[in-house]
Amino acid sequence: MRQCSGCQRFFTRQHCPLCGSTGDDIPQVGGETADYKILPVTVTVGSQMCRVTGIVGQGGHGVVLALVNEAGETFALKVPLEFNERFTNHQGNKKSLLQLSRKYMDHEVEMAHRVKGAALIKIDYAGPVTCSSSDTEISFPAVRMELALGTLKDLLDLHIAGRWRIPFVEKVALIRKLARAVEALHKEAVVHRDISPHNIFLVDRGGEIGYVFGDLGTSQPVDLHGNDNSTTRMAFHNRYLDPALFLFDNFRYDARIDIYQVGVIITEIIMGEYWQPEEEESSVYGFGSTDFTEEYLKKYARDEIPPQLWNVLHKAVTLKIKHRYRTASQFRLALEKALTEVEPLMGREDNPFKKSIGIHYKRLILPDTGTNEETSAGIEGADSHPVPLTYDGRRHIALDSADSMDIDFPALQLQRAFISGPSFMRCTFSANRVTVSIDQQAVMQTLQPLLRSSRQCRRIEFDGRAVLKVEGIRR
Fill in the DSSP letter of residue 278.
G
> Which of 200, 283, 199 has its CA nearest to residue 241?
283
CB 458 within 8 A of CB 419: no
DSSP string, 202-226: EEEETTEEEEEE---TT-EE--TTS
Question: Using CA atoms, how far apart are residues 230 and 67, in angstroms rounded to an integer?
Answer: 35
What burial letters (b/e) apply to 55-94, b meaning 16+ CB within 10 Å? Answer: bbbbbbbbbbbbbeeeeeeebbbbbbbbbbbbbbebeeee
pLDDT score for 427: 93
213: left (phi over 0), alpha (psi -120 to 50) or beta: beta
pLDDT score for 278: 60
pLDDT score for 377: 36
Query: What sign for the dihedral angle of Cα 359, 364, 366, 371?
Result: negative
pLDDT score for 254: 77
Question: Using CA atoms, how far apart are residues 316 and 95, in angstroms rounded to an integer?
Answer: 38
Residues pairing with 264 in the sheet: none
Residues pairing with 461 in the sheet: 364
E strand or H helix that includes residue 140 = strand 137-145
pLDDT score for 284: 44
How do beta strands 23-25 and 220-221 pair? Answer: unpaired
pLDDT score for 237: 67
- Tens-of-pLDDT digits for all 475 residues of the chain? 888 888 888 888 888 888 889 888 888 755 556 678 888 999 999 889 999 999 888 877 889 999 999 999 999 999 999 999 999 988 877 888 899 999 989 999 999 998 888 899 999 999 999 999 988 899 999 999 999 999 999 999 988 877 888 888 899 999 999 999 999 999 988 888 889 999 999 999 888 899 999 888 888 876 544 444 444 444 456 788 888 777 776 666 678 989 999 999 999 999 988 998 765 544 444 444 568 999 899 988 998 899 999 999 999 999 888 899 999 999 999 999 999 998 877 656 566 788 899 898 887 666 554 433 333 334 444 456 789 999 988 888 988 778 899 999 988 899 999 998 778 889 999 989 999 998 877 877 776 666 666 555 566 677 788 899 999 987 7
CB 202 within 8 A of CB 211: yes
> Which of 192, 168, 299, 186 has its CA nearest to residue 240?
192
Which superfamily is assigned to 149-342 in CATH? Transferase(Phosphotransferase) domain 1 (1.10.510.10)
pTM above threshold 0.85 = no
CB 12 within 8 A of CB 1: yes
> Which of 67, 57, 52 has its CA nearest to residue 31?
57
pLDDT for 142-180, tens place per residue?
999 999 999 999 999 988 877 888 888 899 999 999 999
CA distances from 150 to 56, 164, 274, 321, 467 (A): 9, 14, 18, 33, 35
Radius of gyration of the chain, Cα coordinates, nearest whole angstrom: 26
> Which of 347, 236, 330, 335 has its CA nearest to residue 8?
347
3-state secondary structure 94-113: CHHHHHHHHHHHHHHHHHHH
φ and ψ of 73, to 5 deg: -80, 140
pLDDT for 338-348, tens place per residue?
999 988 776 56
What burial letters (b/e) apply to 228-250, b meaning 16+ CB within 10 Å? Answer: eebeeebbbbbbbbbbbbeeeee
Which residues, other chains included, contact 40 with Cβ-Cβ below 8 Å and sequence gap of 6+? 52, 133, 134
Question: Using CA atoms, how far apart are residues 237 and 284, in angstroms rounded to an integer?
Answer: 6
CATH code of the domain occupying 42-145: 3.30.200.20
Domain ranges of the chain: 42-145, 149-342, 352-474
pLDDT score for 32: 55
pLDDT score for 303: 85
Terminal C-alpha separation, the chain: 33
Fill in the DSSP letter of residue 234.
-
At 192 the three-state DSSP class reads coil
